[in-house]
């Protein structure tokens, strides 16, 4: 499904250093989204991990709950064209933030 990560001022990707802890973090956050969102059948694991990596970076950069919830809402509604209750987006944002901060 080639989803677009909504980041208007994203920095160019830096050289990727092997960090298994961060890769596992991406997989965990992607798994939460995989189980909680209504994904189209052509959504791939790699795409969800890339979205999770993007959100983890935003959390580590200081993005708040409302910004993360807005990104999740954009993914579900804007990219996947599927409905999402705003309370559910906030709950997923809280989970993702807690996971990233605990890592």
Distance CA 75, CA 5 (A): 8
Cα–Cα distances (Å) from 9 to 2, 20, 44, 74, in that order, read: 19, 27, 25, 16
The more confidently predicted of residues 35 and 4 is 35
Q: Could you give the percent of the chain with pLDDT greater than 90?
A: 62
Q: Flag whether 5 is in a domain.
A: no
Q: Flag whether 62 is in a domain.
A: yes
Q: Flag whether 14 is in a domain.
A: no
Q: Flag whether 36 is in a domain.
A: yes
Q: Flag whether 11 is in a domain.
A: no
Going by pLDDT thresholds of 50, 70 and 90, the confidence category of residue 1 is low
Q: Flag whether 52 is in a domain.
A: yes
Q: Which domain holds residue 79?
A: 20-102
In the predicted model, is pLDDT for residue 83 greater than 60? yes
pLDDT, mean of residues 27-49: 91
pTM: 0.77
């Amino acid at each position: 499904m080639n989803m677009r990560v909504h980041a208007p001022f994203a920095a160019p990707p830096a050289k990727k250093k092997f960090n298994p802890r961060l890769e596992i973090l991406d997989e965990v956050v992607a798994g939460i989204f995989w189980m909680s969102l209504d994904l189209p059948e052509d959504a791939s694991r790699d795409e969800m991990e890339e979205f999770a990596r993007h959100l983890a970076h935003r959390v580590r950069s200081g993005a708040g709950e409302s910004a993360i919830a807005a990104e999740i809402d954009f993914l579900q509604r804007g990219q996947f064209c599927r409905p999402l209750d705003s309370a559910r987006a906030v709950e997923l944002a809280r989970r993702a933030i807690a996971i990233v901060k605990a890592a």
